[in-house]
A and B are shown apart, each in its own frame.
Chain A
Amino acid sequence: MLALSSSELDRISELLGREPSLVELYAFDAGWSEHCSYKSSRAHLRKLPVEGATVLLGVGEDAGILDLGEADGVRYGVVVAHESHNHPSQVVPFEGAATGIGGIVRDVLCMGGTLIGLLDPLRFGRADLAGHAHQRYVAQSVVDGVGGYGNAIGVPNLGGDVYWDESFDDNCLVNVVALGLVRADQVVHSRVPAGADGWNLVLVGKATDASGFGGAAFSSLALDEEQAEANKGAVQVPDPFLKSVLMRATYRALPLLRALGVREPGFKDLGAGGVLGCSSELVAAGGMGAEIDLDAVHVSAADLPAEVIAVGETQERMLWAVPPGEPTELLLRIYNEEFGLPHVSRGARASVIGRVRSEPRYTMLHRGTVVVDVPVQVLTSGIRYEREVGGAPHRESEDPRLCVDLAAVLPLVLAHRDVCSREPLIRRYDRMVRGTTVIPAGHGDAGVIAPIPGSALGVAVSVDGNPRYGKLNARVAAELAVCESARNVAAVGGEPIGLTDCLNFGNPTKPAQMGELVEAIEGLGAAARALGLPYVSGNVSLYNESSAGSSVAPSPIIACIGRVADISCTAGFAFKRPGSAVVLLGARSAALGGSVVAEVVHAAGGSLPRPSPEVVRTEIEAVRRGFADGSILSAHDISDGGLLACVAEMAMGPNGENGVGARLSSAGDFAPSVPESAAWFGEAGGFVLELSAAAAEGVVGRWRGEGLDAVRIGSTVAEPILSAGAVTFALAELSKAWLTPLRDLYA
């Protein structure tokens, strides 16, 4: 089961000056896995911007925190975490997807946050094709797992996205983003404070069992059909019922601890590396050590081996560091008696499993024998590799000269699996629980919530990353993903304040695949710097490749978090009323590489649109002003399917029943320098805006004066039609094409 290489084994003996014990061996196996130590990516991740005025807490703890602003004189932060659970979801899709949510929820909880939202970016194989029963099973069961967990714990789904590509046939991607709300003065840290010598380490949650043993190492190995069965020890068992109770018990414990004067408890999620990984990082982050008694860990069976108790990755566990006496007794009472964990899950409870000590040494006892005794930083410093970075494949080429028949092609574009309505999938998720949802998932380019009761302060959030672009050029795809996520937040009336990234790539030991990772990180950095946005959280998932050894489409998946100063100045993408001006903001381009239209008409080749993040920034600022002054009635980001698909969606609305039509001029009138097909279907980013008729002329004139590429392209109308130049569509026909494709999988 050990994934350590022989050179890594030698390095361990060298570090310790002796042969490691069995438990130590497993500890290094987990700690030095790609999943925990970012051994291939860390050097490159340093290039990302991580600082800025909106950052309350940057990268480095369980989750990052962005400054949301003040409500009633209290400053609030948005806790953000972004993780992947790709490999587990391929093997046991339901449990894998569910435990992905379970893990990230704990990351937010451990920062002292209240869970306020979840998003789920998903990438599946060709589940829509006959003969792909396995891909279909994965695509359905992952969604069931996301819903089964998220719905039960009562955290609203705020969005997500889904793409289908053959490169995910053997290796789906299941990312998850979680948001929390915390008062800026009540942030809890994943470290023990100074003066914590002698504090108790209190483990809460599920009884440790053999499930999830070998998890961290498992998630860093390429998947192999035969190994799937052998890896079953690493199947993690989700328990959203236990999580729901743990969340509420924790919400109750935090203020009571503060009342006892414990303002800086240590609190950390047990993820990769189990008890050992979590406790060593918690104390090392405060410059201290710990002694752990493995016999005090509550377990499911008396005969569990020491290494399983020490590093097994049983779900639904967290670790507190609190002073002895009243604070410790408080935690034991809340979890064990009031909230009755033992009744919720067999053997679940809170147990004191060890103590913090000032000497930075980490020891573990098992049945009276010392099984770990090392300087703590040896466990937590990880390992890194300078991987050989090869040239990333660039597969762009000259753009095809398309001359498509609008009337025939628009319905096909709308019915494409990457464009069609996500409603059949989204309606498996609870979007309104907590009563804070302002714009539900699927109704706007970003989800919007008002998480503070009685306050108009809101949060907008979107996730993006297009695998069709990733396959052509990882760097440009990364830039496009950053720009699109920021535009999506702006399109509902939000102001982008920060980003998270999850880098889903192939095998870092293969120079070309490592090259894609490195180029994508460069693209992420460049775009974020130009937009003035910091990364506050992130994750790297490598070894995403098929059994034949080809990588998944390079997939930098980005979440953008936005501040909404006033929720009454937000809107979903549906056209609001007839008689408004339809305005295009953002230049069209001839680029058709990776576009939906190229796939629909089987046109090969093409280049990616080159975004200019500086221009995107000024466009976003213009849209923000338009929402604030009320001139923008609705907005929609131009992405998959291009301009015409974008306008069609605004006319159809989220359920296809909006019924406000639009008449647009000919492409030659507003984009004379671009071929007609590329003007309507090219995927260069931008916005389509519905402006009140009275304001439109002034606003467009002002924007043009500022150098923006803005042009009125038509009007909304009362008839349920969409006309583009000389071609007219009935909205009912378009809705039929757009609404139905995913019903086959999810109805």
Chain B
Amino acid sequence: MKTAIIVFPGSNSEEETLRAVNEAGGAGRLVWWFEGPQALRGFDAFILPGGFAYEDRIRAGAVAARDPIVAAVIDAATHGAPTLGICNGAQVLVETGLVPGTGPVGRPQAALAPNAAGHFIDTYAEMVLSAPPERCIFTRHLEPGARVPAWASHGEGRYAFRDDQTRRAVQEQQLLVFRYAGENFNGAELNCAALTNPAGNALAIMPHPERVGWRYQQPQRAKLDVRGDREAYLRPYGGNRLFALFAQVFAR
């Protein structure tokens, strides 16, 4: 699957996201914002990586969501292209209204509001699969209730829904794909870590699976049994499972 990782001015996780895709067996390439929407032709899947697009000025994801290149991604996503937003990318997808996508096109139904604590938080944050695996194309190879390690680093990661109707729709349509396994450190509604859209082809995930996506990045205990084995240390692991889809042959 040819995957475009879209770099905005201020993105900062593009390199490791590209590595995560390629190590999972995919074929990724960085596409810079200045290459324009036409540069996305020929790609099957899209990733909006982490960072601070436009330094998140005004509010996280707000300016990037209005870039012409994002309009092209949303167009492809509404036609079924797998689209993954990680951290800042999730903020952009939510700002465009693609996720959770329960309202009219182009109208955000949710927000990634400032953390309840009012400041940036950097912490290990394991996630639990909270929807049936087949609900979202990025999780359909996982077992029900799977735990996926991730690392959260954000100041604006608190999922908030526009109104009760959206909240209900998210629950009834099983759009809440991952919850945090531990403490709800950012105050997210429903302890939400990741949301999909009704078609299940887009995923907006707040913590970073690619930051716990190799063995060497795992918490101390999870690498003790391979101490001294450098090959094992460098192998994809844990969070990298969320990139498995990109290795598949894509038939739209």
Known: A241-B52, A244-B10, A338-B32. A568 touches B227 (CB 8 A): yes
Q: Are B213 and A569 in contact (CB under 8 A)?
A: no
Contacts A432-B122, A435-B211, A443-B220 given; indicate if A152 touches B10 (C-beta within 8 A).
Answer: yes
Residue A478 CB within 8 A of the other chain: no
Which residues of B, 185-214, contact A by the 8 Å Cβ criterion? 208, 210-214
Chain B residues within 8 Å of A572, by CB = 220
Which chain A residues lie closer than 8 Å to B208 at the CB level? 432
A623 at interface by CB-CB < 8 Å: no
A245 within 8 A of B: yes
A432 with B12: CB separation less than 8 A: no
Give chain B residues whose Cβ lies under 8 Å from the Cβ of A427: 121-123
B212 proximity list for chain A (CB < 8 A): 432
Contact A435 B15 (CB under 8 A): yes
Contact of A152 with B117 at beta-carbon distance under 8 Å, contacts A432-B208, A433-B12, A433-B153 already known: no
Q: In whole angstroms, how far apart are the Cα atoms of A426 and B153 in the complex?
A: 12
Are A241 and B230 neighbours in the complex by a CB distance under 8 Å?
no
Assess whether A430 is in contact with B122, with CB atoms less than 8 Å apart: yes
B77 CB to closest chain A CB (Å) equals: 25
Q: Is the CB of A152 within 8 A of B230?
A: no
What is the CA–CA distance of A572 and B120 in the complex, to the nearest angstrom? 24
Closest chain B residue, CB of each to CB of A654: B220
Contact partner of B227 among A433, A438, A569, CB < 8 A? A569
Q: Which of A398-434 contact B (CB under 8 A)?
A: 426-434
Known: A430-B153, A435-B16, A630-B227. A456 touches B233 (CB 8 A): yes
Partner of A432, one of B9, B34, B151: B151
Contact flags A454-486 to B (C-beta < 8 A → 1, else 0): 111000000000000000000000000000000
A442 closest partner in B (C-beta): B122
Complex contact B10–A245 (CB within 8 A):
yes
B19 in contact with A453 (CB, 8 Å):
yes
B229 touches A568 (CB 8 A): yes
Please, how many angstroms separate the alpha-carbon atoms of A144 and B119 in the complex? 9
Which interface residue of A338, A343, A435, A569 has the most chain B CB atoms within 10 A?
A: A435
Which residue of chain B has its CB nearest to the CB of A144? B119
Sorting the interface of chain B by its residue count into under 10, 10 to 19, 20 to 34 or 35 or more gives 35 or more
Check A435–B217 contact: CB distance below 8 A: yes
> Does A339 have its Cβ within 8 Å of any Cβ on chain B?
yes
Mask, A139-154, CB within 8 Å of B = 1, is: 0000010010001111
Min Cβ gap B23→A in Å is 9
State whether the Cβ of B50 lies closer than 8 Å to any Cβ in chain A: yes
Taking CB atoms and an 8 Å cut-off, the chain B residues in 45-74 that contact chain A are: 50-52, 54-57
Contacts of B15 in A (CB 8 A): 434-435
Q: How many residues of A contact B (CB 8 A)?
A: 48
A154, A240, A454, A571 pick with most chain B CB within 10 angstroms: A154
Residue with the highest number of chain B CB atoms closer than 10 Å, among A340, A430, A438, A569: A430
Q: A427-B123, A428-B120 are in contact. Are A154 and B227 (CB under 8 A)?
A: no
Is A190 an interface position by the 8 A CB rule? no
On chain B, the residues within 8 Å of A153 by CB distance are 12
Asked if A437 is at the interface (CB within 8 A of a chain B CB), the reply is: yes
B219-243: contact bitstring with A at CB < 8 Å (1 yes, 0 no)? 0110110111110111000000000
Query: A147, A340, A427, A450: which has the most chain B beta carbons within 10 Å?
Result: A427
**The residue from A244, A568, A633 contacting B9, defined by CB atoms under 8 A apart:** A244
Q: Are A435 and B220 in contact (CB under 8 A)?
A: no
Bound Cα distance A572, B121 (Å) = 21
Residue of B nearest to A423 (CB): B123
**B96: CB under 8 A from chain A?**
no
Which residues of the partner chain A approach B52 to less than 8 Å between Cβ atoms? 151-152, 154, 240-241, 244
A428 touches B119 (CB 8 A): yes
- Say what secondary structure dominates the interface of chain B: mixed
Chain A residues positioned under 8 Å from B121 (CB to CB): 427-428
The residue from B151, B155, B230 contacting A568, defined by CB atoms under 8 A apart: B230
Answer yes or no: B216 CB below 8 A from chain A CBs. Answer: yes
* Alpha-carbon separation in the docked complex, A87 to B74 (Å): 48
When A154-B51, A450-B216 are in contact, do A339 and B34 touch as well, CB less than 8 Å? yes
Partner of A338, one of B10, B34, B117, B214: B34
Say whether A568 contacts B233, CB under 8 Å: yes
Please state if B220 and A340 are interface contacts (CB–CB under 8 Å): no
- Closest B-chain residue to A430, C-beta based? B153
Question: A693 to chain B: which residues have CB within 8 Å?
Answer: none
CB 8 Å contact bits of A562-593 with B (1 = contact, 0 = none): 00001111011010110000000000000000
Asked if B91 lies at the interface with its beta carbon under 8 angstroms from chain A, I say no
* Contact across chains for B12 and A437 when beta carbons are under 8 A apart: no
Residues in chain A near residue B120, CB distance under 8 A: 147, 151, 428-430
- Cross-chain contact of B55 among A147, A240, A430 (Cβ < 8 A): A240
Are A432 and B211 touching (Cβ within 8 A)?
yes
Contacts of B83 in A (CB 8 A): none
Q: Is the CB of A571 within 8 A of B216?
A: no
Q: Which residues of B contact A574 (CB under 8 A)?
A: 220
Closest A residue, CB atoms, query B56:
A152
| Residue B13, interface by CB 8 Å | yes
Contact status A456-B12, CB under 8 Å: no
List chain B residues, Cβ under 8 A from A340: 9, 34
A344 CB–B CB distance under 8 Å: yes
> Are B117 and A747 neighbours in the complex by a CB distance under 8 Å?
yes
Chain B's closest residue to A148 (CB) is: B120
Whether B54 contacts A241 by the Cβ 8 Å rule is: yes
Residues of B within 8 A of A337 (CB): 34
Give, as a whole number of angstroms, the nearest-CB distance from A462 to chain B: 18
Q: How far is the CA of A567 from the CA of B233 in the complex (A)?
A: 8
CB distance from A244 to the nearest CB of B (A): 5
Bound Cα distance A344, B33 (Å): 13
Q: Is the beta-carbon distance between B217 and A568 smaller than 8 angstroms?
A: no
Q: In chain B, what residue has the closest Cβ to A249?
A: B9
User: CA A431 – CA B151 in complex, angstroms?
Assistant: 10
Residues of A within 8 A of B56 (CB): 152
Q: With A and B bound together, what is the CA distance between A37 and B63 in angstroms?
A: 44
Residues A630 and B228 in contact, CB atoms below 8 Å apart = yes
Among B9, B19, B226, which residue has its beta carbon within 8 angstroms of that of A435? B19
Q: Which of A338, A432, A450, A633 sits near B153, CB closer than 8 Å?
A: A432
A436 CA / B217 CA spacing, docked (Å): 8
Bound: A537/B224 CA distance, A:
36
| B122 contact set on A, CB distance < 8 A | 426-432
Closest to B13 in A: A433
Using known A-B contacts A568-B216, A568-B233, determine if residue A241 contacts B224 with beta carbons closer than 8 Å. no
Contact check, A435 vs B119: say whether CB atoms are below 8 A apart: no
Residue on B nearest A432 in the bound complex, by CB: B211
Bound together, the chains give a CA A152 to CA B153 distance in angstroms of: 11
Q: Which of A44-65 contact B (CB under 8 A)?
A: none
A427–B122 Cα gap in the complex (Å)? 5
Q: How far is the CB of A532 from chain B (nearest CB, A)?
A: 27
Interface string of A604-640 (1 = CB under 8 A from B): 0000000000000000000000000010010000000
Contact A437 B55 (CB under 8 A): no
- A sample of 19 more A-B contacts (CB under 8 A), given A245-B10, A432-B211, A450-B216, is A152-B52, A240-B55, A241-B57, A338-B34, A339-B34, A427-B123, A429-B120, A430-B122, A432-B212, A433-B50, A435-B20, A438-B216, A455-B234, A566-B228, A566-B230, A568-B223, A568-B227, A568-B230, A568-B233
Residues of A whose CB lies within 8 Å of any CB of B are: 144, 147, 151-154, 240-241, 244-245, 248, 337-340, 343-344, 426-438, 443, 450, 453-456, 566-569, 571-572, 574, 576-577, 630, 633, 747
A-B contact pairs, 22 of them (CB 8 A): A154-B12, A154-B13, A240-B52, A241-B9, A241-B54, A244-B9, A245-B9, A245-B10, A338-B34, A427-B122, A428-B119, A435-B214, A438-B217, A454-B234, A566-B230, A567-B233, A568-B229, A568-B232, A568-B233, A569-B228, A574-B220, A577-B224
| A-B interface, 3 closest residue pairs, ranked by CB to CB distance from nearest | A154-B12, A435-B16, A241-B55
